[in-house]
Each structure stands twice: as structure tokens, then as C-alpha cells.
Amino acid sequence: MKNLQYRLILASTILAGTTLQPTLLFAADATPKRVVLVTVTTGFRHSSIATAEKVIQKLAEESKAFSIVAMVQQPDIVVPRKPNAPKPLAADADEAAKKRFENDTKRFDEAMTKWTPEVDAQAKAAQQQLNEQITARLAALAPAALDSLKVDGVIFANTTGDLPLPDKEGFIQWVEKGHGFMAMHSSSDTLHGFRPYIEMLGGEFETHGGQAAVELTPLDPAHPASGERLTPWPIAKEEMYHIKSYDRSRVHDIFASPTVPMDGRPTQGEARHFPVSWVRNQGKGRVFYTSLGHREDVWDDDANLANRLNPPEVSKQFQKHILGGIRWALGLAEGSAEPQVKAAK
């Protein structure tokens, strides 16, 4: 008990920066790999983040493969958002579009009457407070803090935006020394301006269309991250990403689609290769990424989940997929990281 209390005090000292600190969860058993889970966002925030946190914690508890020693979560601060004007009406707009534009403009005008100078000042103050607290919480990712807590790997679950890491270069170097980095969905829509992060991840979010049905091809069924999937994996509905800054000769693909569900146009690389998930080595470290994870019913296998469109089998396969990727990245399971496609000479 004394050792556990000491670790709690030590972690609080390292991570403190404001009165609001990351939620700390420590396992008394030191055998599982030690992981920090990050769900902070400075851009778009997915409604599925709370579900992702719950599912990853469940996988940790059930598998006993890893324990979440710290959760770096979003501060509970609401920033009022200034209303956005509707997009200009197209020159060839039909009557239905014109009517929608008229209604949208009316709502915008009504909302702007409530956006007083006082509200604007409150929004700026709240945004500054949010930024400061996010910065303080991300102190948990300083290499010294990670080493002090003996962290084996870091998970970015649906993060977005230019996260103010305390030492961006140092974090990449920390992974390269032999640690794991695991990332889901919009983690590729994170740190766009810091190229070493994008290069470490192996790809970068470009855009997406409406949610669509997709059938994924397992490209290495023997790999732990495939979740033992031997046959094509049908998903009824998911937000599928177009990926840029991606090179098949730098990654080992786990799942891909032979078609682009969004609109049929080819993505970067081979015209009929739509990357969805892959692994790669970063120095002595291991990196796992999946672009899946937008919807709650992709994460959660509860059959009674509200608004479920994907059957629970999809969620169970997804959980096997990310658990396998986590175990591989933490060095608990073996699998190739050799690219299936060689670089052109």
C-alpha cells in the first residue's frame, strides 16, 4: 500500500500544473505493461471518445496485458462558439437549396443577435483557460514524466488538433528508444504541423465523405493486429478516411479496402489500395494505427447500444483488432513490421 501511495504522490507531483490534473489510475500489479491513454483534443471532438475510454479500460482489465497508469483527458470547460455564417449559395442552386440557405441565414442572424461583446469576451477567456489546462495535462507526455512512471506505451484515442506537447521531438525520441505508440481514428488528424509525428505515424488524415459501408481486406491475417481475421471484414457504416503522406513501402498494412467508399476516386499510392490500418517500426519502438473508430457502435459491442447500425460482431472484431495492435506495439506479441511493398529504386 505504501508503494502504491508513493506512486500516486509522485505522479501527482510530476503531472501537476493546475488544480485540475489528469485522472490517475494505477494497478497494484506491476506485471502488465504500463500505458498512458490520451483523449485530449484541440480540434473536432468526437462523441465516441467517452466510449473509446470505456472500451480501452475494459480491454486492459480483461486482457491483463496492460494497465492504464494515467488518463490525459479533456478539461471540463465549455467554450462558447461564435455562430458560423452559412456557405454562399451556389449560382446553380435549385429551389430546395435556396430555401435551406434562407432558413440557415435566418438562424445565423438570430444567433448573432445573442453574440454580444460580453459573450465574446467570455468565450476568449474560456478558450485561454482551456488551452492552459490542456498544456498542463499534456505535461504527462514529457519524456522525464513518462520515464518516472515507467510507462511502456502511449495511446492516442481520437485525438485532434495541434496538441501542445511539452517536448514534441523528445516524445518521438522516447518512442524510438523502444516504447509503443498506438493510435486510433482521428489521431491521424493530429499534429499536422509537426512532420516527425506524421512520419512516425505513417500517414495523415486528408478528408472524408459521408459514412459508408465498407468491406476490409486483411493483408496479414497472422498479425496480432488483424484480430485473427482470415476473411473480408464487412462494416455496415463507418467514417472512412482518405489518407495522405502515406507510402506503402514504409508501413506493414493490416487492413485495407480495394475501393474508396467515399466517392470512388483513388487515394495516394495504388489506385485500388485504400489504407485503413497498419503497423511500423520507429527506431526500436513500435507504432500501430487504425483509422477506424468514429462511431460508438464500432467501439462498443453492447447489443442494446442506442442508434446501433453496426451489429455487435463488428465491435467485437474491432476490439480484437485494437487489442492485438496494442499487444504488438507493447512487445507482448510478435508480428511482422516489414512493408509488403518495396520502395521503388
- The answer to whether residue 136 sits within a structural domain is yes
Residue 142, domain extent: 2-79+127-329
How much is the pLDDT for 258? 83
pLDDT digits 0-9 by tens, 46-73:
999 999 999 999 999 999 999 999 999 9
Residue 16: pLDDT over 70? no
Residue 267: pLDDT over 60? no
pLDDT digits 0-9 by tens, 151-163:
999 999 999 999 9
- The answer to whether residue 121 sits within a structural domain is no
How much is the pLDDT for 259? 75
Higher pLDDT, 298 or 257: 298
Percent of the chain with pLDDT over 90: 81
Query: What CATH number does residue 264 fall under?
Result: 3.40.50.880
Classify 174 as helix, strand or coil: helix
DSSP letters spanning 99-131: HHHHHHHHHHHHHHHT--HHHHHHHHHHHHHHH
How much is the pLDDT for 340? 95
Mean pLDDT, to the nearest integer, of 29-41?
88
How much is the pLDDT for 263? 53
- The answer to whether residue 226 sits within a structural domain is yes
Mean pLDDT, to the nearest integer, of 225-234?
96
Residue 304 carries which side chain, given as an amino acid letter? N
pLDDT digits 0-9 by tens, 271-327:
578 999 999 999 999 999 999 999 999 999 999 999 999 999 999 999 999 999 999
How far out from the chain centre does Cα 31 lie? 26
- The answer to whether residue 280 sits within a structural domain is yes
Residue 218: pLDDT over 80? yes
How much is the pLDDT for 25? 42
Q: How confident is the model at residue 262 (pLDDT cuts 50, 70, 90)?
A: low
Mean pLDDT of the chain: 89
Grid coordinates belonging to 5: 501511495
Residues 6+ apart with CB under 8 A from 321: 225, 226, 227, 229, 254, 255, 277, 290, 292
R_g of the chain, CA atoms, integer Å: 21
- The answer to whether residue 122 sits within a structural domain is no
User: How many Cα atoms sit within 13 Å of 246 on the Cβ side?
Assistant: 26
- The answer to whether residue 202 sits within a structural domain is yes
How much is the pLDDT for 261? 60
- The answer to whether residue 119 sits within a structural domain is no
Residues 212 and 274: beta-carbon distance below 8 Å: no
Long-range contacts of 306-315 (CB under 8 A, 24+ apart): 309/236, 309/237, 310/235, 310/236, 310/237, 310/238, 311/236, 314/234, 314/235, 314/236
- The answer to whether residue 131 sits within a structural domain is yes
Mean pLDDT, to the nearest integer, of 75-81?
92
Q: CA-to-CA distance for 212 and 184, rounded, in angstroms?
A: 18
Domain count, the chain: 1
How much is the pLDDT for 272? 73
CB burial of residue 126 (10 Å; 0-12, 13-18, 19+): middle
